[in-house]
Amino acid sequence: MKPQIAVVGSVNMDMVFKTPRMPVPGETLMGHSFHQVHGGKGANQAVAAARMGAKVHFVANVGDDLNGQSCVQALVQDGIDVQHVRVMAGSATGVAGILLDDAGENCIVLTTGANALMSTADIDKAGNTIAEAKLLLCQLETPLATVMHAIACARRANVKVVLNPAPAQVLADELLCQVDFLVVNETEAALLSGVAVVDVVTAERAAAALLARGAKVILLTLGALGMWVATPANAYFLAAFEVEVLDTTAAGDTFVGSFAVAMAEGRDVRAACMFAQSAAALAVTKLGAQTSIPYREAVERQLLQLQKQ
């Protein structure tokens, strides 16, 4: 049986500009190419979870425009249940403008559109779906009050919660203590812990501070370096997979969605992180958001090759 995962989050259309480097203020820079790709942190993580083998129920809002129609159609093609994806009349679907340079780094400008209109009423309509899930996955591209309401709904039903607090913003201890798995990058960890994360040593300090704030397990991703994992019982570093980076867009989302599936299937935290790291490593070798998210067969094949080394 496929594990059921509920995802509450955003839907965006990504406008990707491939550039030789990042422009400076006031500069007009000739780009290499342009691509339009389905994205949004919520949708990306839902797609990752679906491609890793979960039955995904997605709660989201889109506008009544062509971008919204295209994004929902893509979700359906990945087998995602979209009965709780609401079309907002008179609103635009979220859009992200992404600059991607030759080094594989990106800068993103986001307009939230219909994502900003997701309400607690939307969560209530999906309440039974969330309560029946093995795990709830949330991010912060939708209103914080709505995310908090979804997490409270999950907690009442004893559903495990994964929170990826991105984009980074200040969060109360009352929210963090309801989170079973907090997945943060260096920027998010620094904001929430007060510790500037620049290496493994500072990652350890930041993760300890986040545990003290109430989150039960901390997964602090460090890009090409790897990640720091902290639980109440132990803490350890996991090195990243070595791959040739083309585009880091959606690598974090791929990690989060894949980790959620592995945990929902009953793996321990270390094994789930290894599985998710394998998925994220494959994602950075391809261009775009959802276009870069791998399928389970490729992830397991890479893990098997690593074990043989």
- Residues identified as active-site: 253
Annotated binding site for K(+): 247, 249, 283, 286, 288, 292
Helix, strand, coil in percent for the chain, rounding step 5: 40, 25, 35
Burial 30-50 (b: 16+ CB within 10 A, else e): eeeeebebbbbbbbbbbbbbb
Q: How many CB atoms lie under 10 A from the CB of residue 170?
A: 8
- Give the pLDDT of the chain (309 residues) as one tens digit per residue: 899 999 999 999 989 899 999 999 999 999 999 989 899 999 999 999 999 999 999 999 999 999 999 999 999 999 999 999 999 999 999 998 989 898 878 888 889 999 999 999 999 999 999 999 999 999 999 999 999 999 999 999 999 999 999 999 999 999 999 999 999 999 999 999 999 999 999 999 999 999 999 999 999 999 989 999 999 999 999 999 988 888 777 899 999 999 999 999 999 999 999 999 999 999 999 877 898 999 999 999 999 988 776
Q: What is the pTM of this model?
A: 0.93
Annotated binding site for substrate: 12-14, 40-44, 141, 253
- Token look-up 């995962």 returns 5
Annotated binding site for ATP: 185, 221-226, 252-253
The Cα 31–Cα 217 span in angstroms is: 41
Domains, the chain: 4-308 (3.40.1190.20)
- Please state whether the peptide bond connecting residue 232 to the residue before it is cis, i.e. omega within 30 degrees of 0: no
Write the CA distances from 100 to 11, 79, 89, 119, 223, integer angstroms. 20, 29, 32, 33, 16
The Cα 99–Cα 194 span in angstroms is: 29
Give the per-residue pLDDT at 93.
Answer: 98
Question: Which segments of the chain does DSSP mark as H helices, in order?
Answer: 41-51, 66-77, 120-125, 127-131, 144-156, 173-176, 186-193, 200-212, 251-264, 269-283, 296-308
User: Nearest to residue 252, comparing CAs of 275, 280, 293?
Assistant: 280
Annotated binding site: 12-14, 40-44, 141, 185, 221-226, 247, 249, 252-253, 283, 286, 288, 292
